[in-house]
Amino acid sequence: MKGAVVETEFDVVILGSGPAGLQAAVHAARTRARVAVLGKVQSSALYRAHIENYCCIDETVSGEAILEAGKNQAKKFGALLLDEDVVHLEQEVNGRFSVRLESGDSLLTRAIILAMGVSRNRLNVPGEKELLGKGVSYCVDCDANFYRNQVVTVVGNGSAAASGALKMLLIAGETHLVCGVLEISEHLRYQIESSRIEVHMGRNVSRILGDSGVRAVLLDDGTKIETSGVFIELGAKGAIELASGLGVALESDTMRFVAANKKQETNVPGLYAAGDICGPPWQIAKAVGEGCVAGMEAATYARRARTRAAQG
C-alpha cells in the first residue's frame, strides 16, 4: 500500500520489510499493538535469494516467496504495511518519534525498530545487476551450498573475501579470488597462499558474462575466468544514516552496525534494532530471531509508555 495512510499514530513503527522487520511485525501485532511496517520488500537482500538451510523448510524456497508469506502473516495479525521509504526521523520532547515518509506523510510512534538491513558495496560493472540472483551473490554464507563442485569466483580485497574464498574451497570444485590489494592478516594470508585458491592479484573485474546465469568474468587485463558463481565480498554499509540524528550508538569493532543488547535495545529508549543492521552473520535465522525479540520488546515498551501517558 502506498500513499494511503489512514492512521498516523502507532505503538510500533518498523523500518524495513525484510525477514527481521516482518517477524517483528508479527510478534508486535499479536499483542494488539498498533504496528506499521515501512519499506519496499524488493529492497530486502532476501528477495532475490534462495533458501535451503532454514529450520522446518526441507526444500529450496525463493526469498520472494518467504517474504510474501511474511507480509501476509503480518497483515493477518493487523499490521499495516506501507510500500514507502523513510526520509527523516526525530524524537519529540515527550519521547515519541516522528517518522516522515517519502510521500510527505508523517507518523507518530512510541517505539521504532530499525530493520533496514545493510546495503552491499557493489562492483558497478556490466552484468552485475542483470545476473543478481542468477549466479551473482553478495553473501558466501547464504549461497555457498548452491555451488557444490562448481567453479566460483570471489571478488574483494579484505578479510571477508579471503575467508569467503577459503570457505568456498571446501564446497566448490575450483575457487578463484580476484583482488586489487589483499589487505588481510598474516595468518589469513598464509592460509590463502597455502591453499589451492587461484589468486588474481592486482586485478579487477570489468564485466560479468552470462544470459540466464553467470558464465564467466572478464578481468581488466583481458583474462576470462569461466565460472558458475561470482561472490562479491566488498563489505557492507549499514543503512543507519536515518538514525544517526537520534544519537544511536554503533558497535565498536567496525562502527558500521547498530549496537543492540540481547533485548535488541539500542542506547536510545524506545529504539530497537534487528537483522543485518546489527551485523553478521547474514542469515535469515538470525534475522527472524532478532526480529521476534525486537517485536515483543518494542510492543511491551510502547504499552508501558502508553500507560504512563494515560496516568498523566
Rounded Cα distance, 169 and 152, in Å: 9
Burial class (CB in 10 A: 0-12, 13-18, 19+), 142: buried
Overall fold of domain 9-119+236-310: FAD/NAD(P)-binding domain (3.50.50)
Question: What single-letter amino acid sits at 39?
Answer: G
For the stretch 208-211, contacts whose Cβ atoms lie closer than 8 Å and that sit 24 or more positions apart, written own/partner, are 208/125, 208/126, 208/127, 208/128, 208/131, 208/135, 208/136, 209/127, 210/127, 210/131, 210/134, 210/135
pLDDT, position 3: 47
Q: Once rounded to an integer, what is the mean pLDDT over residues 275-304?
A: 96
| pLDDT tens digits along 201-229 | 999 999 999 999 999 999 999 999 999 99
Q: 122-232, which class in CATH?
A: alpha beta
| pLDDT tens digits along 59-94 | 889 889 999 999 999 999 999 999 888 888 999 988
Straight-line distance from the first to the last Cα atom of the chain, in angstroms, rounded to the nearest whole number:
35
Buried-state track 195-224, b at ≥16 Cβ within 10 A, e below 16: eebebbeebebbebbbeeebbbbbbeeeee
Q: Where are the domain boundaries for CATH 3.50.50.60 in the chain?
A: 9-119+236-310, 122-232
Q: Which three cell numbers stand for residue 155?
A: 571478488
- Does the structure show a pLDDT above 90 at 30? yes
Concatenate the DSSP letters of all residues of 163-230 into one string.
Answer: HHHHHHHTTSSEEEEEESS----HHHHHHHHTSS-EEEET--EEEEEESSSEEEEEETTS-EEE-SEE
